[in-house]
A = this chain, B = another copy of it.
């Protein structure tokens, strides 16, 4: 089966990150940057996003030339500035606090899919405001042409736009979120119960990401858990979740399947891919690693969990 294309909608921005060990500024960031680069290792990847006139041409070149991303859905607002995010990770990386968000160009963003992209069979709604995620869904076909839709989110949207997010859940196929977010959304601290509860809230498939501890998959055909890859050079977890989601949708597009076995393999590829992201600030390690490094870690993960 040949690879199908996937579509990634999310932010492209400039980040400032503070970890217990270091800090860095003006980094290429945003959910779509991480997710699309990750997806590009598996399938042709289309990007819907917006940046301001200040977006560095070098970053645009990296996305298009180095990773072959189709940027026909990337709007440049000539009068606006690029989205900015700054965050601070807590001691031992157990949780992240968003310190500041300046939406900038995203304030007037209205995601419009190029007409030829509307039949993209695999869609990732990155961790954007749910209103944007809804607007993309409104442009996708229904019925038998319906794509497979994966949505991600972050704590900010649960706090600020909870109802929009709850309305989104029945409209998607797979919801991926971290353990802290699953607690915020369900009030349930036990991740197994939280996962079951989330499935009742709409999505057929739920993945709860436990950061350095791995991830849990709740699927109609079964339950699956995978330990995180044993990273020893931990630098910055920013973008780990986005890379995870990107690799997930990219892998599914590459095999054009969404059954339990395929989703389990996708979880392992997502785990392998995001383990590279955390080994540097921004997308540097993810971008330089290449597919071979991902495949190597996938093989190691398969071996180290083989009973």
| Residues of A bordering B, CB below 8 Å | 92, 189-193, 210, 213-214, 216, 222-227, 230-232, 234, 264-265, 268, 301-307
Residue of B nearest to A211 (CB): B213
Q: Which of B222, B230, B264 contacts A307 (CB 8 A)?
A: B264
* 4 A-B pairs with the lowest CB-CB distances in the bound complex, closest first: A225-B227, A192-B230, A213-B213, A223-B304
Residue of B nearest to A225 (CB): B227
Q: So how many copies of this chain end up in the complex?
A: 2
Main secondary structure on chain A at its contact with chain B? mixed
Contacts of A222 in B (CB 8 A): 303-304
Contacts of A305 in B (CB 8 A): 224-226, 305, 307
Q: Which of B214, B232, B301, B307 contacts A265 (CB 8 A)?
A: B307
B224 and A226: CB pair below 8 A?
A: no
Contacts of A193 in B (CB 8 A): 232
Nearest CB in chain B: distance from A95 CB, A: 12
> Could you name 7 residue pairs across A and B whose Cβ atoms are closer than 8 Å?
A92-B189, A216-B227, A223-B304, A225-B304, A226-B307, A268-B307, A305-B307
Q: How far is the CA of A301 from the CA of B304 in the complex (A)?
A: 14
A230 and B223: CB pair below 8 A?
A: yes
